[in-house]
Amino acid sequence: MRAVPDHLGSPVHDHITDAVKTPSLVRLSPNTVLVRFETLKVYAALGAVRHLLDTGVVHRGQTLVDSSSGIYALALAMACHRHGLRCHIVASTTVDDTIRAQLEILGVTVDQMPPSDDLRLDQNRRVARVRELLARDPDLHWMRQYHDPVHHLGYAELADLLRRALPGEPLTVVGSVGTGASSGGLTRALRRHDPGARLVGVQPFGSVTFGSERFTDPDAIIAGIGSAIPFGNVHHELYDRVHWLDFQHAMAATIGLMRDHAVFAGLSTGAAHLAARWEADRDPGRTHVVIGADTGHRYAARVFARHREALDPALLTPVEIASLDDLSPPWAAMDWARRALVPAQERRKDPVP
């Protein structure tokens, strides 16, 4: 059902997912706007579940299963709650007690991976566990948030919201790459109306997604930005620019966002804001839309409590590179120019120009 306004003009929603999916838009500078979510992936989960139900791929009462590092798990659990589906999450070691408790109260079956500092091992363990579950119960439906393009669909609604809120403004989306669904789905929808809409992706060092797998960042806890395994929902040819940041830079930007704008957000939001500030200075005629995927609660102890250690983001600048061969921490940026990613083994023979 559609939300209807009450006597004060505010919408009265039929389910919490309609309330939490709607972001707050905050202008941080004349050409920078933050799109701040409680949890961004409600758009992905709701759009995917609705499509699967409408097309008969899944049915009410069925169990949906997937692997998650946190916010997708909660989004999928809420979508299942809304539509009368069961949910089974194979959770990353990074899923904290707060999220796990919410999942369990919602009736989700949670398998959490053992503690590990190895992101690749954690992701591989999760995928292997999902495969075990599917072999045991073929009626389970694997959502495959990393690979199934059904997760792009919900972001068309977000694109419409941005076009209404920022009419006529040329947009550059700046956000963490993650699974690729949010940035890919949003940018595709925007480009249906404006092919010139730009996309800037943000990556941690160590991610395979944009060729930085040869680096390690032992402090990195930026859930949802990068990956230790290739994701099918990442379409490299959508990206105009890419920024790679280490943990210290992301932390500095996240603390800076709170200090300067009173915005309590996650590390991926801080990292995106740092990249957006750089891009906005270089291209002042465009509005840079910063994707704020979640709040800062799960980073309270490991980031915000350490605010006295944070670098001054105003003093930080990236090294502009022309090739992945030149990539190096702590912060690098590159014109990606909407091209495909050359596999690592081929890059060693013929570096990306």
Kindly tell me if the per-residue pLDDT of 234 is higher than 90: yes
Locate 16 and state its tokens: 């919490």
Assign 334 to helix, strand or coil. strand
Q: What is the pLDDT of residue 9?
A: 60
* Helix count and strand count (H, E) for the chain: 10, 14
Q: What is the pLDDT of residue 5?
A: 46
Q: What is the pLDDT of residue 353?
A: 30
Of all residues in the chain, the percent with pLDDT exceeding 70 is 92
Q: What is the mean pLDDT of residues 99-104?
A: 94
Find the radius of gyration of the CA atoms of the chain. 20
Distance of CA 283 to the CA centre of its chain: 24
Weakest-pLDDT range from 35-39, 112-116, 157-161: 112-116
Cα gap 267→241, rounded to integer Å: 20
The crossing angle, in degrees rounded to 10, of helices 97-105 and 71-83 is 10
Give the model confidence (pLDDT) of 259-292 as tens digits.
Answer: 999 999 999 999 999 999 999 999 999 999 999 9
Q: What is the mean pLDDT of residues 296-321?
A: 95
Largest CA distance in the chain: 66
Kindly tell me if the per-residue pLDDT of 298 is higher than 90: no
Give the model confidence (pLDDT) of 216-226 as tens digits.
Answer: 887 765 556 77
Q: What is the pLDDT of residue 200?
A: 98
Amino acid in position 49 = V
- pTM: predicted TM-score of the whole model, two decimal places: 0.91
Q: What is the pLDDT of residue 16?
A: 95
Q: What is the pLDDT of residue 70?
A: 80
Q: What is the mean pLDDT of residues 231-249?
A: 96
Q: What is the DSSP string of 138-193?
A: TT-EE--TTT-GGGGTTHHHHHHHHHHHSTT--EEEEEE-TTSHHHHHHHHHHHTT
